[in-house]
Chain A
Amino acid sequence: MRTVVTLLAHTQIESVPPPDHPVRQGAGTLAENLIEYAGRVCYRSEARMGTQPAFISLRVREGHEDIIEHVRFVFRVEQQPLDEDVLLLANQPSVEYTRLAGEQWIFSLNARNIRDFWRQSHSPLARALVALAQPVLPTVYADIERQEEAGS
């Protein structure tokens, strides 16, 4: 089986909110800052943006996982022959897909979908999605990366 995954797009923040917006005051990537900001809106603690490196992973661990859903990714997936994991991915909540010619698909999904899919499948497709999303959201996938390294 051959699986080739390309990252086409992810949530853009750079050109959007005003220059003094707290989203820009975080210490992570802009996409991570958006997640931290969404979490801090809940606690009204935006003034502390960027002061706690573990903020996102702590929220995720305690089950406040909706905050990572605010970042979405668009991937092109080529797989031949087609494996069941593509169907599993297509059936995750909020996942959208377009079938292109042949065995090529466009998938759009959020950061949480990738975590859930990896947990369910551990397939080459799941690993490829994590590897491509990781530079955009290092803290969101740090625990998965550690487990992958321990397992391989």
Chain B
Amino acid sequence: MKVTLLGYIPVDDLPEPEKHGAATFLIEGISRTCSHQIVRHRLASFSQESQRYVSLDKGGWQAIIPPAVQQNEAADQAMHEMWRSLQGAYTSLRQAGIRKEDARFLLPNAAETRLVMSMGYRPLRHFFWLRIDKAAQWEVQDVARAMLRQVYPLAPGVFQDIWDAYDMAGADPAGSGIE
């Protein structure tokens, strides 16, 4: 997982920075499970890598393996086998003349994806409250923490309460260590 800040609105000279601030992120190396949760946030703009126009081999997508699966040998093996067999099936479908938009029906939630997301600071605050919380899925928690780390220095006043509530100053910047 990797988050890169691409742009932002400087708020230093603006009233109500929570309303007028905004940031744009590139989020890479996440599963479709995670991206599906992210794109449920309606007050935002998204551009996500297409499975209609990009093929499995061109995308070079890997399976995102949850830490609990990685730590369990049998489960890890089962998941890798599944991924290998679907790669074979995908290739067979393509060779049989099936379009990418139909071959992608084979791809599981584990399939890697990436997206560009822009959000105003107000909906971003809401996103952080929901997605850094321990009730959220591990992967989206890592994404949200990485986003907060990058946006906090741009507008500390806007995000201070969230930063403090989740003890970001003390937290391990590597998150759960998933690459």
B45 touches A108 (CB 8 A): no
How close is A28's CB to chain B, nearest CB, in angstroms?
14
* A106 and B48 alpha carbons, distance in the complex (Å): 31
B47 touches A44 (CB 8 A): no
User: Known interface pairs A70-B45, A108-B20. Does A16 touch B8 (Cβ–Cβ under 8 Å)?
Assistant: yes
B24 touches A11 (CB 8 A): yes
Residue picked from B8, B43, B114, B115, most chain A C-beta under 10 Å: B8
Contacts of B43 in A (CB 8 A): 94
A108 touches B49 (CB 8 A): no
Closest B-chain residue to A107, C-beta based? B20
What is the number of contacts between chain A and chain B, taking CB atoms within 8 Å?
107
Q: Is B120 an interface residue (CB 8 A)?
A: yes
* A124 and B13 alpha carbons, distance in the complex (Å): 26
Chain B, interface size category, equals 20 to 34
* A98 and B18 alpha carbons, distance in the complex (Å): 11
Q: Is B7 an interface residue (CB 8 A)?
A: yes
A74 touches B14 (CB 8 A): yes
How close is A115's CB to chain B, nearest CB, in angstroms?
14
CB contacts under 8 Å to A, within B1-41, are: 4-10, 13-16, 19-20, 22, 24, 26
* A69 and B6 alpha carbons, distance in the complex (Å): 14
B22 touches A11 (CB 8 A): yes
Can you spell out 16 A-B residue pairs with CB atoms less than 8 angstroms apart?
A11-B24, A12-B9, A17-B26, A23-B6, A37-B116, A41-B49, A41-B114, A72-B22, A74-B14, A94-B45, A98-B16, A98-B19, A98-B20, A108-B9, A108-B120, A110-B118
Closest 9 CB pairs between A and B?
A: A69-B45, A38-B47, A96-B19, A38-B116, A108-B20, A11-B7, A13-B7, A70-B118, A44-B54
Which residues does A use to contact B, with CB under 8 Å?
8-13, 16-18, 21, 23, 31, 34, 37-39, 41-44, 66-67, 69-72, 74, 94, 96-98, 100, 106, 108, 110
